[in-house]
Amino acid sequence: MIHYKTDEQLRLIRKAGRIVAACHKEIAARIKPGVSTLEINRFADAYMRRYGARPAQIGYKGYPYATCASVCDAVCHGFPTAVPLKEGQIVTIDMVAELDGWMADSAWTYAVGRVSPEIQKLMKLTKQALYRGIAQAVDGKRLGDIGFAVQQIADREGYSVVEEFIGHGIGRRMHEDPQVLHRGKPGTGKWLRKGMVITIEPIFVMGGPHVNIGSDGWTVRTVDGSWGAQFEHTVAVMDGEPIILTR
């Protein structure tokens, strides 16, 4: 069942989203060689709590951390660790803040020091695909329009889309209807209507699309070891231009 949010509920989600966005800005300044993702996790946990929010990922289906921290070929749901990050790596930090009962979700891939031109391009085009998808999140469009906008960039550039992990509705619960796929056909899928709040969160990888889940039960890695990037915003569907609630 899709829950359509009122203007007041959108305001509350946006408040949570501002905490997530501000935390990501602080993390961007802290990602560097020698820093561990466990340190980043501790910072994000403390930051969200300092501003009155609850790190909503802690305890979700038993997940033990405030963030997911996925390095290089780990494309999502990675556990933060004490292993120092190295020059040239990339790391995706994903977090959900709950404030006054409402949630906002955003993931961002960061370069650790200087990365290769190929990785820079991967990050740039994955982010571009996110915003192309967001542009379709308006009343009267359909979910397939979002997926098609994303996949066009991947197909053109020779990247694979990790299809098992998708966007979703969000509000009082972390995962609500509808499911938001990052592949699709224009004019297909559920109608987008004003008041829907969804995440769009494409994962592009440089090799094949196949992934598996590690022994921790969470960390998702590419089967062929290729690196992946992910960018995610929480977005409100509107009559005209969509509103990014985690900008």
Could you tell me if residue 16 is inside a domain?
yes
For residue 77, say whether it is annotated as part of any ligand binding site. yes
One-letter identity of residue 96: V
Report the alpha-carbon distance of residue 218 to residue 213 in Å, rounded: 6
Is residue 1, in this structure, part of any structural domain at all? Answer: no
**Residue 201, annotated ligand binder?**
yes
- Please report, rounded to a whole number, the percentage of residues in the chain having pLDDT higher than 90: 100
Question: Per the domain annotation, does 162 fall within a domain?
Answer: yes
CA 4 – CA 13 distance, rounded (Å): 13
- Say whether 94 counts as a known binding-site residue: yes
The whole-number average pLDDT for the span 44-65 is 98
Is residue 106 a part of any domain in this protein? yes
What is residue 70's predicted lDDT score, i.e. its pLDDT?
98
In a domain, 131, yes or no: yes
pLDDT of residue 10: 98
What value does the mean pLDDT take over residues 168-177?
98
| 134 band by pLDDT with thresholds 50, 70 and 90 | very high
What average pLDDT score do residues 91-103 get? 98
CA distance 214 to 182: 23
Structural domain tally of the chain? Answer: 1
Q: Please write the tens of the pLDDT for every residue from 74-90.
A: 999 999 999 999 999 99
161: three-class secondary structure by DSSP: strand
The answer to whether 204 and 154 have CB atoms below 8 angstroms apart is: yes
Mean pLDDT of 219-234: 98
CATH number of the domain bearing residue 165:
3.90.230.10
Q: Is 105 annotated as a binding residue?
A: yes
User: Residue 31 in contact with residue 112, Cβ under 8 Å?
Assistant: yes
The half-sphere exposure of 221 on its side-chain side, counting CA atoms within 13 A, is 13
So what's the pLDDT on residue 242? 98
Residue 178 has what pLDDT?
Answer: 98
Tell me if residue 114 falls in helix, strand or coil: coil
pLDDT band, residue 164 (cuts 50/70/90): very high
Is residue 233 part of an annotated ligand binding site?
Answer: no
pTM over 0.95, yes/no: yes
For residue 2, is it within any domain? no
* Model pLDDT for residues 20-34, shown as the tens digit of each residue: 999 999 999 999 999
Report the pLDDT value the prediction gives residue 85, as an integer from 0 to 100.
98
pLDDT band at 236 (very low <50, low <70, confident <90, very high): very high
39 is in an annotated binding site: no
> Could you tell me the pLDDT band of residue 126, with boundaries at 50, 70 and 90?
very high
176 close to 168: Cβ distance less than 8 angstroms:
yes
Residue 70 belongs to domain spanning:
7-244
Return phi, psi of residue 86, to 5°: -115, 150
Whole-number pLDDT of residue 53: 98
